[in-house]
Amino acid sequence: MHLHHLLPTINGIAVLMYHNIMPAKGDRSTVTTNQLREQWNYLKENNYVCLSMKKFLSVIFGKEPAPEKSFLLTFDDGYLNNLKYAYPMLQEFGWSATFFLIASNLKKNICSACEDHEKMNTLQLSKIDPDTVQFGMHGYEHENFSELSSAEAHHVTRQMIEAFDESGLQYHKVLAYPFGARPKNSEKFKQLRSIFQKAGIAAAFRVGNKPQVTSDVNHYQMKRIDICGDDTIQDFAIKLRKGKLKPF
């Protein structure tokens, strides 16, 4: 039994977080191609507006208003299955999304027999239409930023940006925290925020499971909504408005 009726509806941008996209069900972090199409048809039929990362940043920095019903699509980790299954659907719908990539993978010619975990390599990424997919950062080696010292966070941030710069890919200086993790201690978080600001990182995304309001924004704790393989279309509709399905 869902307890979503105890949660308020939040007027904000639904930043949707996906991981694996596969034809068949795998696990909680795998959304099937049929589920993805059903979810995106729901967005289209209910007049939601897809934002690019550029447009999203313009909205949260107060340069323009958000459309009344809007969303941002994000995919974590750089899985090859995102290119095989989500990318053609993005082109079909005429939408854009952000792929958050693990920077160290840009230096590897990745190859794996296991499609579930194979990552895109730089050559594959370079052939993606930049109007359809924008790239963002997801750590250097998927580090847990809540566990890093200030010196370690500075080093990882430098490595991450250098890897993206050397790849030749166009990218936005935005970060999705691996594991959604960032320091709980306010002083440590302040230090991390300062590191990001000096590095030119415009925004960082946690999870939070709430639509991101556009007033009183903390640009280094932007909220995303976790879209899971066991979500029904009714669950998806609730998450768009409330972020999660129960209050605890």
Collapsing DSSP to helix, strand or coil, 181 comes out as: coil
Cross-strand bridge partners of residue 17: 74, 226
CA distance 132 to 62: 24
Mutual angle of helices 233-242 and 33-45, in 10-degree steps = 50
State phi, psi for 156 to the nearest 5 degrees.
-60, -45
pLDDT of residue 10: 85
Query: What letter does residue 215 receive in the DSSP assignment?
Result: S
> Residue 229 domain-assigned?
yes
> Residue 247 domain-assigned?
no
Closest alpha carbon to 101 in 187, 171, 28: 171
Tokens of 243: 């972020």
Tokens of 77: 């980790």
> Residue 24 domain-assigned?
yes
pLDDT per residue over 49-65, tens digit each? 999 999 999 999 999 99
Cross-strand bridge partners of residue 133: 97
Tokens of 64: 């323009």
> Residue 213 domain-assigned?
yes
Q: State how far Cα 185 lies from the chain centre.
A: 24
> Residue 217 domain-assigned?
yes
CA distance 104 to 187: 28
> Residue 205 domain-assigned?
yes
HSE value, Cβ hemisphere, 13 Å, CA-based, for 34: 5
pLDDT of residue 184: 94
CA distance 151 to 143: 14
Tens-digit pLDDT profile for the chain (248 aa)? 566 676 778 899 999 999 999 998 778 899 999 999 999 999 999 999 999 999 999 999 999 999 999 999 999 999 999 999 999 999 999 999 999 999 999 987 655 544 557 999 999 999 999 999 999 999 999 999 999 999 999 999 999 999 999 999 999 999 999 999 999 999 999 999 999 999 999 999 999 999 999 987 899 999 999 999 999 999 999 999 999 988 86
How many independent structural domains does the chain possess? Answer: 1
Tell me the CATH number at 43.
Answer: 3.20.20.370
pLDDT of residue 193: 97
pLDDT of residue 247: 80
Q: Which domain holds residue 146?
A: 4-242
State phi, psi for 120 to the nearest 5 degrees.
-70, 145
> Residue 75 domain-assigned?
yes
pLDDT per residue over 219-232, tens digit each? 999 999 999 999 99
Contact 15, 37 (CB under 8 A): no
> Residue 85 domain-assigned?
yes
